[in-house]
Chains A and B, each alone.
Chain A
């Protein structure tokens, strides 16, 4: 089954379509602002079904990162309703947030690798935090590192890695615990187009395994043909393209 074909529902008239029982992520008239500033996001409504792969595009400052931060519970919306895994996030207690986060993998533009830990330890971190025994995950981590092309760099410390290697290590860490949702914020921002294309193919591979994938990028040249695209401009959803070839 190609999960990339699962289509997001979007409605710019601020209403989510009903009947999407398998949606992983739902936004209903969500707005977000910092203090008294104007809204960074305004009346954003969409629904991403389980197993979908969606690209969020838009110019810098459009609100892409804010949208992702709201999804991975780094911030709470100023208004509106966000539903994750069928749960209203406004009703989730703080103590329950870590458990929800363990169901998501996150890749950020600045990699966020721990510099004093080698690549293996960085990638194994979600499993270590989840309390798994080292003997149970060591082979999985080494196998994944090999799969992302870092098999020979397991002992290397992050400062000795290239930008592409760091990004692949960050992606490996995001997927090692087999998350239900994978969120990537400008994952190709620090690499050249060639590596960028390879990383996008890597995300597509992960999506084929059933992970709902949402990737924010301002570089539309990297978006594959036929991808689901959510465009954001000035904090509003400005468009939705499904299966349209991007030139």
Chain B
């Protein structure tokens, strides 16, 4: 049986080649830049999310509670009296007289661990929990207690709540600023990379316009290539940041009081979603930027 010659159309199979050449050596520096940007963006996002959660936790702890401090005096029954008065208020859920050990503990940072003399006058603290979405009229309560001859300070924690709001607001602005800078850096990096890619593939671009390829066709080639590269870099950077966050979270949880003053870095399911969005958003930014850059170059330089 006669076989067709090797160059016969019927027999020859030609494997499709990608139009854009793969130059991994040239692409490596940009890839590293994108990994770092994704890493920083993910860390910032996780820190923001964690800060929000911690602030919300603090707010929840402070919201709905009032501390009543009865000044030291010889009448030991005043605390019980105050408890009765407060318990009768419609907005109050529970009133607890805190043991004197609690007041002593609060003095430890200033007086040290040495035992305190029994005759040291200490205020009595009452922890008042309010019913859900109820508020306490501080002036009214103060006048009720005064009428009963009880000298007391009432703290509804609003001062601390405001402080937390201010701090978290500042942190939010700083984090958004950091994210904006990272986004700008990503756009700049992808413009730079696309321009370098265009220079390296100039012959291909010239030939594509020569054979009548629409600018969108050429732009699609570049934006798909760069977007895929951005997605891979974003995934690596985001995973690295997630790993670092987990390690830092573990460190915080084992460092005792250190985390008492800082928001706890505990990851939640929402954080995983945030991490997943980073490579997707990075790829989209790069796709759009490189598309725009290629189309602009084509119209500016190739199509008169």
Q: Which residues of A contact B (CB under 8 A)?
A: 72, 74-76, 94-95, 97-104, 106, 108, 112-118, 120-121, 125-126, 128-130, 134, 138-139, 142-143, 146, 151-152, 154-155, 173, 177
Q: In the complex, which residue of chain A has the Cβ closest to the Cβ of B213? A: A129
Q: Which of B32-40, B204-212, B236-244, B281-289 contacts A (4 or more CB under 8 A)?
A: B204-212
* Contact indicator A142/B207 (Cβ below 8 Å): no
Q: Mostly helix, strand, loop or mixed at chain B's interface?
A: loop
A contact residues around B210 at 8 Å (CB): 72, 101, 106, 108, 112
Q: What total of A-B pairs shows CB separation below 8 Å?
A: 81
B215 at the interface (CB under 8 A from A): yes
- Contact A114/B203 with A126-B212, A154-B14 known, Cβ cut-off 8 Å: yes
- In whole Å, how far is B298's beta carbon from the nearest beta carbon of chain A? 9
A132 → chain B, closest Cβ, in Å?
A: 12
Q: Interface readout for B1-34 with A: 1 if CB under 8 Å, 0 if not?
A: 0000011111010101101010000000000000
Q: Which chain A residues lie closer than 8 Å to B213 at the CB level?
A: 98, 129
- A161–B303 Cα distance when bound, in Å, is 30
Contacting pair A129 B203 (CB below 8 A): no
Is B214 close to A, CB under 8 A?
yes
Number of interface residues, chain B, beta carbon within 8 A: 27
Known: A112-B203, A114-B203. Contact between A121 and B17, CB under 8 A? Answer: yes
Alpha-carbon distance A120/B9, docked complex (angstroms): 11
Q: Complex Cα distance A138/B12, Å?
A: 9
A-B contact pairs, 8 of them (CB 8 A): A102-B211, A103-B212, A112-B210, A118-B14, A125-B207, A128-B19, A142-B8, A155-B14
Given A98-B214, A108-B210, 17 new contacts (CB under 8 A): A94-B299, A97-B303, A98-B209, A99-B214, A101-B210, A112-B206, A114-B19, A114-B207, A125-B208, A125-B211, A129-B212, A139-B9, A142-B7, A142-B9, A142-B14, A146-B7, A146-B9
Decide if B257 is an interface residue (CB 8 Å cutoff).
no
Q: Are A142 and B12 in contact (CB under 8 A)?
A: yes
Q: Is B58 an interface residue (CB 8 A)?
A: no
Within B47-81, the residues touching A (CB, 8 Å) are: none
State in angstroms the CA–CA spacing of A113 and B206 once bound together: 10
Known: A76-B304, A99-B212, A142-B12. A112 touches B207 (CB 8 A): yes
User: Does chain A have a CB within 8 A of B160?
Assistant: no
Contact across chains for A114 and B204 when beta carbons are under 8 A apart: yes
**Residue of chain B at shortest CB distance from A122:** B207
* Measured CA separation A134–B299 after assembly (Å): 29
B217 contacts partner chain A, Cβ-Cβ < 8 Å: yes
Bound-complex Cα distance A126 to B214 (A): 11
Q: Give the Cβ gap from B9 to chain A, nearest Cβ, in Å.
A: 4
Q: Which residue of B lies closest to A145 (CB)?
A: B7
